[in-house]
Every structure is written in C-alpha cells, then in structure tokens.
A = this chain, B = another copy of it.
Amino acid sequence: MQVRATATRRFLLETAARLFDERGYAGTSISDISALSGRTSGAIYFHFASKEKLALAVVEEHFATWPALVARVRAADGPALEKLVALSFTVARSFRDDVVVRAGSRLWMERKAIDEQLPTPFVGWIEAVTALLGEAREQGTLADSVVPEKAALGIVYAFFGLHTVSDALEGRDHIEDRLHDLWLLLLAALQADPDPEALLGRVHAGPALLSR
C-alpha cells in the first residue's frame, strides 16, 4: 500500500506539473488535475491538502533535484572549469526536458500569486559555482583578475537569464547552442589562458558522467 501511495503521489505531482507548466498557477485548478489524471478531487486532496501545498510540493521536488548532482560534480576528478561547464549543460537539459523542473521554475516566478512560503533558489547554485571557481584557482586555470564569489554571481545571473530569454523567444528549442555561445563569452573572461572553443570541445566530447 505504501509503495502504491508513493507512486500515486508521484503521478499526481507530475500531472499537476504538466498543467502548471502549461497554464501557470492561476490557470490550473484541482478539477483540471482531476480531469487529466483520471483521479477524483478527493484522491488529490488525500495526497495534497490544497492547491498551494501541491504547488509547494512541485517546487520542493524541483529543488531536491540538484544537491546530489552538484555533490557528484564537486567530488569528480578533472579540471574544475570543465566540470562547471558540463554541469551547466546537464542542468539546462533538465530545464528543457523535465516537466517537474520546468513547472517548479514557473511556479517560483509566479510565487507572489501562491499563498505559501517557497524555498529560495540561487543560493545553492552560487555556492556551488564559487566552490568550482575556487578549485579552478587552485588548479591554476582561473584568470588572476577573477574573484570567485563575484564571478559566480555573474555566471548564475547569465545562466538563469538564458532560460528566461530562451523560453520567451524560442521555447528553449536552441538552449544547448545558446549555452555554448554564452560560455564562449564567459570563458574568455574566466580562463587564465583563454581558449573557450577547446574547453567546450573537450566537454562535448567527454563522458556523460554528469548525467542524472
């Protein structure tokens, strides 16, 4: 029974995520989720006390996606700047392909319409990028002028701005090409001995050890 309840909860969460992603928070009702899932409203309320709690669960599920991935990247051997770039591509693909990630991101944008305290994003990313830049400094691959804490903020701004702009203008269809171009710019500032194309080539050719 427990296993089945967990599977049902997950199924309802993903169904709700599809609707939140397509229609936003205000445009999605428990009735809509009931109709799409084929479950009664009562069954939905059994798992989630309210639409607010369901939205909160989607956002929390999105946030829960990352810590294990980040820990794996930080623990891996290899040049830190390559790990950072590879991580960004893994995350970008999740934003494009994972409906819970997409819905969680959308709901967070609409957070003022949701009567629940949502977790704060960005902080964990800023820490992770700062740490990877610090590792690059130890490896001697970071330009002298770069201050890891400050550059990490710039990288996080650019990465999240890319998702907003790409989503608005082209439905994220070209997100990997756009991210490649963004790194051409950022790596020219970050690398001690700039050769962004070569670094990107190594990342694209590398093993998918960062897949989730």
| Chain A contacts to B: CB under 8 angstroms | 22-27, 106, 109-110, 112-113, 120-123, 143, 145-147, 150-151, 153-154, 156-162, 164-165, 168-169, 178, 181-182, 184-186, 188-190, 194, 196
Contacts and interface: CB of A to CB of B under 8 A. Distances in A.
Nearest to A160: B161
Contacts of A190: 185
Contacts of A188: 143, 145-146, 188-189
A95 B154 CA distance: 18
A164 B110 CA distance: 12
Given A109-B109, A154-B186, A159-B161, 5 more contacts: A24-B110, A110-B112, A120-B169, A123-B169, A188-B189
Contact of A157 (B122, B162, B184): B162
B112 A106 contact: yes
A167 to B, nearest CB: 10
B185 A165 contact: no
Nearest to A197: B145
A53 to B, nearest CB: 17
Contacts of A189: 185-186, 188-189
Interface centre among A25, A106, A109, A153 (most CB of B within 10 A): A153
Nearest to A121: B168
B169 A165 contact: no
A24 B186 contact: no
Contacts of A161: 156-162, 164
A181 B169 contact: no
A185 B150 contact: yes
Contact of A185 (B123, B146, B159, B160): B146
